[in-house]
């Protein structure tokens, strides 16, 4: 990828992918990192600061198919909080955004790569990115190991929008070639 690449990291957690992408892939580009849980977001901010990254826009929100708020159910570990996988009596309310709205609000001319690992919310996130997904040359890496039908559902959604799709080891890799 070119140095001025624009990457979107959905489910940034504490920033492992965000930091690597900002330091190695898009050194003169931009990483937009979404993490809805306040504690995880705090660690994401700290990792951005520790690595002196100036090319990251961290956003403390969940991506979804619409703007508003959702319940983020708290999982047994900090990386397992989910809006869709389970419903318990332990949850927090978090703001939601759509990727299309954020791309417009940040005046991004394009998005080159999207990584999504959002504990089962991947399809809802893609539904809020219909305009962004029209970008030729767009590449995606999406975790689809959360539910039995997730790989099929995400693959069909992307194929219907002109993506070449490969499923491998719990991930969907997709490329928009026209």
Q: How far apart are CA 139 and CA 133, in angstroms?
A: 9
Confidence class for position 87, pLDDT limits 50, 70, 90: confident
Q: How far apart are CA 63 and CA 105, in angstroms?
A: 14
Q: Specify the pLDDT at position 3.
A: 65
Query: Could you report the per-residue pLDDT of 127-140, keeping only the tens digit for each?
Result: 999 999 999 999 99
Q: Which of 2-11, 79-88, 166-175 has the highest mean pLDDT?
A: 166-175
Q: Is the pLDDT of residue 91 over 70?
A: yes
Q: Is the pLDDT of residue 145 over 90?
A: yes
Helices (H), the chain: 16-20, 38-50, 99-105, 122-127, 150-159
Q: How far apart are CA 176 and CA 86, in angstroms?
A: 32
Confidence class for position 1, pLDDT limits 50, 70, 90: low
Q: Specify the pLDDT at position 77.
A: 83
- With b for 16 or more beta-carbon neighbours within 10 A and e for fewer, the 123-158 pattern comes to bbbbbbbeebbebeebbbebbbebeeebbebbbebb
Q: Is the pLDDT of residue 69 over 80?
A: yes
The residue ranges of every structural domain in the chain are 6-176
Q: Specify the pLDDT at position 96.
A: 97
| Of 32-41, 85-94, 151-160, the least confident | 85-94
34 half-sphere exposure, CB direction, 13 A CA radius: 24
Confidence class for position 85, pLDDT limits 50, 70, 90: confident
| CB count in 10 Å sphere of residue 101 | 17
Confidence class for position 25, pLDDT limits 50, 70, 90: confident
Superfamily classification of domain 6-176: Vaccinia Virus protein VP39 (3.40.50.150)
The percent of residues in the chain predicted with pLDDT above 70, rounded, is 98
Confidence class for position 51, pLDDT limits 50, 70, 90: very high
pTM for the whole structure: 0.95
């Amino acid at each position: 990828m070119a140095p001025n690449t624009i990457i979107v990291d959905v489910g940034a957690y504490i920033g492992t992918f965000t930091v690597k992408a900002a330091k190695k892939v898009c050194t003169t580009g931009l990483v937009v990192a979404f993490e809805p849980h306040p504690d995880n977001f705090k660690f994401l901010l700290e990792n951005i600061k520790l690595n002196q990254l100036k090319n990251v826009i961290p956003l403390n929100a969940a991506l979804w198919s619409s703007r508003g708020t959702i319940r983020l159910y708290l999982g047994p570990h900090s990386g397992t909080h989910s809006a869709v996988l389970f419903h318990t009596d332990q949850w927090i309310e978090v703001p939601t955004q759509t990727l299309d709205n954020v791309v417009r609000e940040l005046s991004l001319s394009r998005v080159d790569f999207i990584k999504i690992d959002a504990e089962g919310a991947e399809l809802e996130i893609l539904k809020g990115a219909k305009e962004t997904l029209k970008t030729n040359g767009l590449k995606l890496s999406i975790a689809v190991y959360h539910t039995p039908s997730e790989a099929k559902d995400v693959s069909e959604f992307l194929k219907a929008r002109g993506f070449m799709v490969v499923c491998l080891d719990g991930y969907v890799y997709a490329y928009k070639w026209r």
